[in-house]
Amino acid sequence: MSLVEVDAVHKTFPPRRRGGNPVHALRGVSLRIEEAETLAVIGESGSGKSTLGRAVLRLLDVDQGTVTFAGKDLGALSPQELRAQRATMQIVFQEPYESLNPRLSIGAIVAEPLEIHNPRLGTKEIRRQVLETLDRVGLPATVANRLPGELSGGQQQRVGIGRAIISRPRFMVLDEPTSSLDLSIRAQILALLAELQQEYGMAYLFVSHDMHTVEWVSDRIAVMYLGEVVETAPTQQLFSAPGHAYTQTLLSARLSADPRERHAYKAFAGDTSVTTAGFRPGAAGGQE
Ligand SMILES: Nc1ncnc2c1ncn2[C@@H]1O[C@H](COP(=O)(O)OP(=O)(O)OP(=O)(O)O)[C@@H](O)[C@H]1O
């Protein structure tokens, strides 16, 4: 049994405009995610990657098919059971600022999942875990009293990651977690995610449209095209022997990508300690 099992999932959205056509965003998607592995989902804009990420977490209802997490059919859970299950399945969004409540302090934002999932924890214990989590994601304790708008994009994404890990999930959907960030910050955030994965043994579904990123972060890659998974393969195999014509197109586009970006990911792949320099507990945060 795999940690996550997605079987023949369909999702159609109603037309956005009157007279428009419904959008068949997922057309019978099936995939497996194992404990502690990173499965990347790649494909061009509109291919259904984000819809898949939300469907896997049951943040949206699907029309057909099943999603099983650790042997439980998520579609068969009551809303209360699903809420309890959410402690073990979290998401980090592409736009950190939009995903953080601008009126809440960072401390309150990071504490929220704990308060929901462990309602009996005392204020002192919550504060202790919040500070420990901020430290773990490379932010100084002083940010706890600040608002999201006072932080840089990189720091905001660290908050988004802190909020996601505080309930110790076994699985996270990372929905383009670095694509809104400056190139120089991306490698640092990717390194942090890699460290956290090693430390906590989490599995990741890493949504991206960027072949460079997935080349470095993923164990396997699922390629999406128009709502279907057209190919799934171990990362190196997909790069050396792409099986589907669409994958070949994506790979040839990658060769012409921005060389500065390539450099950032090479740094990430070569030495993760380099990328976290300056983000040691206590010293952190100010450079983003
Ligand atoms: N809430 C919604 N209502 C209507 N259509 C939607 C909704 N959400 C997504 N879609 C449509 O479903 C299709 C798949 O969207 P999705 O966001 O999953 O693609 P994506 O591969 O993640 O794209 P991107 O890389 O641009 O985020 C698109 O045509 C999109 O317009």
* Model confidence pLDDT, tens digit, residues 190-200: 999 999 999 99
Nearest to 206 by CA among 34, 24, 50: 50
Question: How close is the Cα of 189 to the center of ligand 1, in Å?
Answer: 25
Residue located nearest, by CA, to atom 2 of ligand 1:
13
Question: 3-class SS at 276?
Answer: helix
Ligand 1: which atom is nearest the Cα of residue 227? Answer: 14
The residues that bridge with 234 in the sheet, in sequence order, are: 220
Is pTM, for the whole model, over 0.90?
Answer: no
Q: Is the pLDDT score of 134 beyond 60?
A: yes
Residue nearest to atom 29 of ligand 1 (CA): 46
Give the closest residue (by CA) to ligand 1 atom 12.
25
pLDDT of residue 123: 93
Q: Give residue 275's pLDDT band: very low, low, confident or very high (50, 70, 90).
A: very low
Span 164-199, pLDDT tens digits: 999 999 999 999 999 999 988 999 999 999 999 999
> Would you state the pLDDT for residue 119?
84
> Lowest-confidence range among 150-154, 238-242, 263-267, 283-287?
283-287
Considering only CA atoms, which residue is closest to atom 7 of ligand 1?
13
Q: What is the mean pLDDT of the chain?
A: 88
Q: What are the pocket residues of ligand 1 if the criterion is a CB atom closer than 6 Å to any ligand atom?
A: 13, 16, 23, 25, 43, 45-51, 209
Determine contact, residues 42/209, Cβ cutoff 8 Å.
Answer: yes
The answer to whether 198 touches 166, Cβ cutoff 8 Å, is no
Res 63 pLDDT > 60: yes
pLDDT in tens, 29-42: 999 999 999 999 99
Answer for the pair 221, 236: CB distance below 8 angstroms, yes or no. Answer: no
Q: How far is the CA of 44 from the centre of ligand 1 (A)?
A: 11
Residue 282 has pLDDT above 50, yes or no: no
pLDDT(287) > 60? no
Q: Whose CA is nearest to atom 26 of ligand 1?
A: 45
Residues of the chain with pLDDT > 90, as a percent, come to 76
Q: Ligand 1 mean position to 43 CA, how many Å?
A: 12
Comparing CA positions, the residue from 138, 110, 145 lying closest to residue 126 is: 110
Residue 235 has pLDDT above 60, yes or no: yes
In the chain, where the domains are located: 4-274
The CATH architecture that domain 4-274 belongs to is: 3-Layer(aba) Sandwich (3.40)
Residue-level pLDDT at 184: 85
Q: How many CB atoms lie within 10 A of CB 57?
A: 21
Across the range 57-84, mean pLDDT stands at 95
Instruction: Kindly compute the dihedral angle of the four CA atoms of residues 159, 163, 168, 170, in this order, to the nearest 10 degrees.
Output: -90
State the pLDDT at residue 252: 84
Query: Looking at residue 237, what is its pLDDT?
Result: 96
Residue carrying structure tokens 């990328």: 275
Q: What is the pLDDT of residue 55?
A: 97
- pLDDT range class, residue 255, cuts 50, 70, 90: low
Q: Is the pLDDT of residue 225 over 60?
A: yes
Please give the structure tokens belonging to residue 72: 């439980």
- Residue-wise pLDDT for 93-123, tens only, equals 999 889 999 999 999 999 999 999 888 999 9
137 confidence band (pLDDT: 50, 70, 90): very high
Identify which has the larger pLDDT, 119 or 20: 20
